């Protein structure tokens, strides 16, 4: 029999210890539930698919400081030199690299004319017919650019675009995106026809609400500062990091070639703060649960010393060892569940405050519930060892200790 009434009477007689533990459990549940929710949110953000073959694709910068060089012709020669290297699958010039934290974004107007259209935002990738192959993204509707469709040098000459599925869904809903006309805010009234849809391609800024809205435009940029995207065969990146500068310097030594970074390295860098937050919060959760468990274990050990006569008397009256163990376990469950229910209510209220102040999603109830369940399991383990020690107290030893 659980004998709840004697346990409650014992807790009421010694209020200070149980009350302090109750407060600790309330705070632990409230903090741990919200911290776990934030950790889960950060992990979900970090696990989002960029759509790119991250371990194969890398970017590099070329800065031409010779004013006499024809940049457009130089870029074409550089591009061909890179594509001819062993281990290169595809390569293109680009306006930005995915997940790099730096790039281009523009508003796009959709409607009958630039004046009456509605706006939506997207990252802009300027590139040629090898952009899709270089990134490793999946074309799910329409077609790729043809080589003869690529415009040179000037961005506002773009007249064809390939959009992501997320952008197409946001702008046209269930209507087919291929064949639609849109206007880039930066290009005035220049119409851009959508000729293809790719499944996923993230932009450069992971905290941007339009992260998965991307548009590839048919322009090969030409400027003294040129960024290239290269897709390499598996394991070829270290060799290409050495081979590309050598190959490009054979044509022209008056430039700087640097900043070789795999997209996977960009991912690690841009998510570093998210990873740090998840790590710090995880350590805090572990410490809070550990401290709470140790607090309950300490209270049980203190009660064993203080209740030696009571335990011995119960043993003398016929209480079995399991009865003594269950006494302390039920005492633990009463404190944990009471504190857990109050803590869950506090956690929900705290979650609402975080939602309003920091624009976090609403706390899901599964987190307070899971926290309470986890705390019950953890404290059971912490309490059961000293409780078993109490169960071994001999009635004779208890009597002599009076």
What are the residue boundaries of the structural domains of the chain, listed by start?
4-47+272-400, 66-253
Give the β-pairing of 214-217 and 160-164.
antiparallel
* Token pair recorded at residue 230: 């290269």
Beta carbons within 8 Å of 369's beta carbon, 6+ residues apart? 344
* Token pair recorded at residue 171: 């702008």
Q: Where are the beta strands (DSSP E) in 240-341?
A: 255-262
- pTM of the full predicted structure? 0.81
> CA 158, CA 83: separation in Å to the nearest integer?
24
Q: What pLDDT, on the 0 to 100 scale, is given for residue 359?
A: 67
**Residue 110, beta-bridge partner list:** 118, 182
CA angle 190, 193, 194 (to 5 degrees): 140
DSSP, collapsed to helix, strand or coil, labels residue 216 as strand
Q: What pLDDT, on the 0 to 100 scale, is given for residue 319?
A: 73
Backbone angles phi, psi at 260, to 5 degrees: -80, 120
321-341 core/surface letters (b: 16 or more CB in 10 A; e: else): eeebbbbbbbbbbbbbeebbe
Contact 162, 182 (CB under 8 A): no
Nearest to 158 by CA among 148, 150, 166: 150
Q: What pLDDT, on the 0 to 100 scale, is given for residue 1?
A: 44
Backbone angles phi, psi at 204, to 5 degrees: -95, -15
* Token pair recorded at residue 134: 């270089």
HEC string of 328-342 equals HHHHHHHHHHHHHHH
Work out the angle between the directed axes of helices 272-306 and 321-358 (0-180°, nearest 10). 150
* Token pair recorded at residue 274: 């998210």
Catalogue the long-range contacts made by 322-325 (C-beta closer than 8 Å, 24 or more residues apart): 322/391, 324/387, 324/390, 324/391, 324/393, 325/384, 325/387, 325/388, 325/390, 325/391
Spans of the chain below 50 pLDDT: 1, 401-402
Contact 367, 347 (CB under 8 A): yes
């Amino acid at each position: 029999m659980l004998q709840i009434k004697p346990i409650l009477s014992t807790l009421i007689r010694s209020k200070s210890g149980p009350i302090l533990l109750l407060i600790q459990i309330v705070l632990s549940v409230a903090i741990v539930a919200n911290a776990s929710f934030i950790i889960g949110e950060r992990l979900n953000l970090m696990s989002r698919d960029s759509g790119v073959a991250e371990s194969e694709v890398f970017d590099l910068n070329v800065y031409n400081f010779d004013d006499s060089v024809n940049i457009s012709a130089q870029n074409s020669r550089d591009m061909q030199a890179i594509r001819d290297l062993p281990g290169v699958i595809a390569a293109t010039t680009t306006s930005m690299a995915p997940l790099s934290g730096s790039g281009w974004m523009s508003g796009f107007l959709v409607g009958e004319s630039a004046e009456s259209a509605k706006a939506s935002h997207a990252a802009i990738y300027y590139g040629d017919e090898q952009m899709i192959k270089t990134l490793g993204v999946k074309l799910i509707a329409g077609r790729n650019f043809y080589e003869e469709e690529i415009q040179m040098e000037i961005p506002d000459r773009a007249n064809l675009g390939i959009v992501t599925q997320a952008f197409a869904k946001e702008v046209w809903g269930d209507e087919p995106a291929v064949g639609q006309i849109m206007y880039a805010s930066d290009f005035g009234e220049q119409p851009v026809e959508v000729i293809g849809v790719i499944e996923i391609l993230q932009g450069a800024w992971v905290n941007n609400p339009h992260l998965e809205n991307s548009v590839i435009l048919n322009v090969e940029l030409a400027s003294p500062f040129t960024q290239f995207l290269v897709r390499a065969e598996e394991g070829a990146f270290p060799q290409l990091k050495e081979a590309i500068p050598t190959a490009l310097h054979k044509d022209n030594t008056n430039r700087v070639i640097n900043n070789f970074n795999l997209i996977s390295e960009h991912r690690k860098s841009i998510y570093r703060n998210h990873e740090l937050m998840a790590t710090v919060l995880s350590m805090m959760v572990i410490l809070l649960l550990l401290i709470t468990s140790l607090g309950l274990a300490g209270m049980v050990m203190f009660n064993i010393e203080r209740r030696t006569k009571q335990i011995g008397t119960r043993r003398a009256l016929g209480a079995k060892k399991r009865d003594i163990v269950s006494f302390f376990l039920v005492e633990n469950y009463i404190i944990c569940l009471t504190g857990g229910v109050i803590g869950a209510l506090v956690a929900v209220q705290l979650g609402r405050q975080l939602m309003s102040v920091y624009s976090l999603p609403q706390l899901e109830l599964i987190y307070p519930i899971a926290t309470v369940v986890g705390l019950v399991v953890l404290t059971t383990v912490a309490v059961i060892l000293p409780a078993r020690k109490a169960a071994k107290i001999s009635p004779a030893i208890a009597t002599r200790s009076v």
